[in-house]
Amino acid sequence: MIIIPARLASTRFPQKVLADIGGLPMVVRTAKAVEHLDKVVVAADDEIIIKVCKEYGIDAMLTSTTHKSGTDRINECANILNLSDDELIINVQADEPFIEAEVVNSLMKKLQDLQSRKEPFIMGSCYNAINAEAAEDPNLVKVVLDEADNAIYFSRSKIPHNQGGGAKYFGHIGIYGFSKKSLNEFCQLKDAPIEDIEKLEQLRAIYHQKKITMLKVASTGFGIDTKEDLERAIEIFL
């Protein structure tokens, strides 16, 4: 199942999930980009989003307005739907309208493989190679990996620091995959001090010594956080 958390309020770009992109609201365009892969549900915090989604034939569910994160929101949705513990859930961000279906499908297959081999994981996500200039952008989250492509750390800072030369930089792509059981587990973990410092909730898992499996993909899509991002995305993709 694919669940898209959608929050109406946004500090930098109010109501961005409803912004028009080529004649479709952003959240609708995101849902339509992946709806052929699996069942899609939008987990919204406002009836306005529900109404818009239904106008375009997208299933949507009202969730609490008090959730700290999109992960908490999709967890509520998964619990309401009473999904089985081994159901795979892909969290696609509502502000990723140009995410490639191939990226989502690749993450699904990666997690299915881990399940079949009974490999432990709390979540899976994706990354791609970026250059040193892109790594300077604090809005682009960087990830450092171990030899098995598990995440060691995520940061808005440029990591690793290139003291010895030869650094390679990887950008985190904002898509997450869980089993229903691991999603519940993640949401029950205590908040980590570092996640509030970096404003990156995935650091909660690393703080509690949980494994985040990472998958390298080719992707040109990016999250839309500002009106400038939207203008750039429309110029590139439409």
| CATH number of the domain within which 82 lies | 3.90.550.10
Secondary structure element (H or E) that encloses residue 186, with its range: helix 180-188
Nearest to 19 by CA among 184, 231, 235: 231
Is the pLDDT confidence value at 226 over 90?
Answer: no
How much is the average pLDDT of 109-118? 96
pTM above 0.85, yes or no: yes
Q: For residue 126, give its domain range.
A: 2-237
- Average pLDDT in the 117-124 region? 93
Name the residue among 230, 219, 209 with its Cα closest to residue 92.
219
Measured between its terminal Cα atoms, the distance across the chain in Å is 28
Beta bridge partners, 176, equal 91, 125
Residue 12 pLDDT grade (very low, low, confident, very high; cuts 50, 70, 90): confident
Indicate the helix (H) or strand (E) that contains 143. Answer: strand 142-145
- Indicate the number of domains in the chain: 1
How far, CA to CA in Å, does 196 sit from each of 159, 187, 192, 199?
Answer: 18, 15, 7, 5
Q: How many Å apart are CA 79 and CA 141, to the nearest integer?
A: 29
pLDDT digits (tens, 9 = 90+) for 15-40: 999 999 999 999 999 999 999 999 99
pLDDT of 11 above 90: no
Q: What values do phi and psi take at 27, rounded to 5?
A: -65, -35
Calpha distance 64→45 (Å, rounded)? 6
pLDDT confidence of residue 19: 95
Q: Residue 52, exposed/middle/buried by CB under 10 A (0-12, 13-18, 19+)?
A: buried
User: What does the alpha-carbon distance between residue 190 and residue 154 come to, in Å, rounded to a whole number?
Assistant: 18
- Give Cβ neighbours of residue 155 (< 8 Å, ≥ 6 apart): 141, 142, 198, 200
pLDDT at 225 over 90: no
- Identify the band that residue 9 occupies on the pLDDT scale cut at 50, 70 and 90: confident
Beta bridge partners of 42: 4, 60
